[in-house]
Amino acid sequence: MKIGKLYLLACIPVLCLACGSRDTGIGTTAPDGGNASRAMKQSNSPGAEYTENAEKPATIVLFLGNSLSAGAGVDPANAFPALIQHRMDSLGWNVQAINAGLSGDTSAGGLRRIDWYLQQHPVRILVLELGGNDGLRGIPVEVTQNNLQTIINKARTANPNMEIILAGMQIPPNLGQDYTRAFQKIYPTLTSMENTHLIPFLLEGVGGVDSLMQRDGIHPNESGHRIVAENVWSVLYPVMEALHSRK
């Protein structure tokens, strides 16, 4: 367990309370409070024009997450979902990354928001980056796992062929070793039960490294996001390559 690298995450609950999610339901406004048309593409994405003008519809990759996906404290163009978009553009793939990251969001918040995105977009790949705030708030592990499983079920109902990637998280032992161990098992358990893909630890190589974190000691800086993007890419690339080869 990499608890030594994660002592810095103990401060996140304060940030979460200050940056709570703003779910507004389904309508012309995205559930993160943004304009729906803006939510349809990654901010400052270099691939946006390409995908809009492509003859075939773009493959949609949805990043449903919290402040890590949202890129809190950095330019959205330098957050890891945008860096992933750059990678896919460089390969000439007709792919559109949608950043549905919302600072302070929990698995319950993601569950409230997922329907809106599934109704707006034909999502082909879901990168599910939620649960870390649940653990830091001491939400019962069973509740978090059930919320994530329900999000997966909703995604599969919308598209039975949807590929789902879970971004694993870990928490410090503030709430006791039993809770910490139980939380750590959520992601591999769901991966096995629901036949998803797994990023073992999203912040691998970043958490606890001062040079890769912002001054708050909580969020990755631009250099940190580049490493997080590599962690995501190592799992996402084989999935994307398999889809691309079928076309």
Show the domains of the chain with their CATH numbers: 3-26+57-246 (3.40.50.1110)
Q: 205 Cβ partners below 8 Å, 6+ apart?
A: 212, 227, 231
Is residue 211 part of the annotated active site? The answer reads: no
The pTM of the full predicted model, rounded to 2 decimals, is: 0.82
Would you say how long the chain is, in residues?
247
Least confident of 36-40, 85-89, 197-201: 36-40
Q: Which of 45, 69, 107, 219 is catalytic?
A: 219
Residues 52, 47, 241, 59, CA torsion sign: negative
- The predicted model gives 87-102 an average pLDDT of 97
Q: Which of 67, 69, 103, 107 is catalytic?
A: 67
Is residue 223 part of the annotated active site? The answer reads: no
Least confident of 4-13, 147-156, 201-210, 221-230: 4-13
| Better pLDDT: 53 or 193 | 193
CA angle 51, 56, 59 (to 5 degrees): 60
Residue 150 confidence (pLDDT): 98
CA angle 140, 143, 146 (to 5 degrees): 150
In the chain, pLDDT over 70 holds for what percent of residues? Answer: 78
Amino acid at 116: W
Q: Which of 192, 210, 216, 234 is catalytic?
A: 216
CA 146 vs. chain centroid, Å, equals: 17
Is residue 115 part of the annotated active site? The answer reads: no
